[in-house]
């Protein structure tokens, strides 16, 4: 993959994540689906893994399709993701979101 294409893909992922409303969450697959065939859920996860330096990217609002906080270990502290979600009104228990379907935000449906 060319560096420019890679940067473009990263940028797209970050843009979508930034658009996730406060108190709502989305999934890797939803982002991949929204960005199109050139992306895949794994690539979205990989992009998020490289989002350490990127400011204003609420990575805690991105979970897997079951609402599980699979990425929590990649935060500063393992509890950070859970705390951030809880503060925003998202119910988290045992590393998964309770009211997932209520707070789920699909970019391909919510964006034009």
Binding residue (CB under 7 A) for DNA from 40, 88, 95, 104 = 40
Q: Report if residue 48 touches DNA, rule: CB under 7 A.
A: yes
Q: How far apart (Å, rounded) are the C-alpha atoms in residues 35 and 47?
A: 13
Q: How far apart (Å, rounded) are the C-alpha atoms in residues 109 and 19?
A: 13
Rg, C-alpha atoms of the chain: 13
Binding residue (CB under 7 A) for DNA from 13, 16, 20, 45 = 45
Q: Report if residue 6 touches DNA, rule: CB under 7 A.
A: yes
Among 13, 15, 20, 14, CA closest to 88: 20
Q: Which helix (H) or strand (E) holds 26?
A: strand 26-27
Q: How far apart (Å, rounded) are the C-alpha atoms in residues 63 and 70?
A: 7
71-79, 88-96, 104-112 -> range binding DNA (CB under 7 A): 71-79
Binding residue (CB under 7 A) for DNA from 28, 82, 92, 107 = 28
Judged by the rule CB under 7 A, the positions of this chain that interact with DNA are 1, 6, 27-30, 32, 37-38, 40-46, 48-49, 51-52, 59, 62, 64-66, 70-71, 74-75
């Amino acid at each position: 993959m060319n560096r420019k294409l890679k940067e473009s893909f990263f940028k797209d992922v970050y843009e979508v994540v930034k658009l996730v409303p406060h108190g709502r969450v989305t999934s890797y697959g939803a982002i991949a689906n929204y960005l199109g065939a050139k992306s895949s859920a794994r690539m979205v996860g990989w992009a998020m893994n490289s989002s350490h330096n990127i400011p204003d990217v609420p990575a805690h609002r991105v979970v897997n399709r079951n609402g599980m906080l699979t990425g929590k270990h990649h935060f500063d502290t393992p509890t950070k993701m859970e705390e951030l979600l809880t503060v925003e009104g998202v119910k988290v228990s045992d590393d998964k979101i309770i009211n997932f379907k209520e707070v789920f935000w699909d970019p391909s449906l919510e964006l034009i």
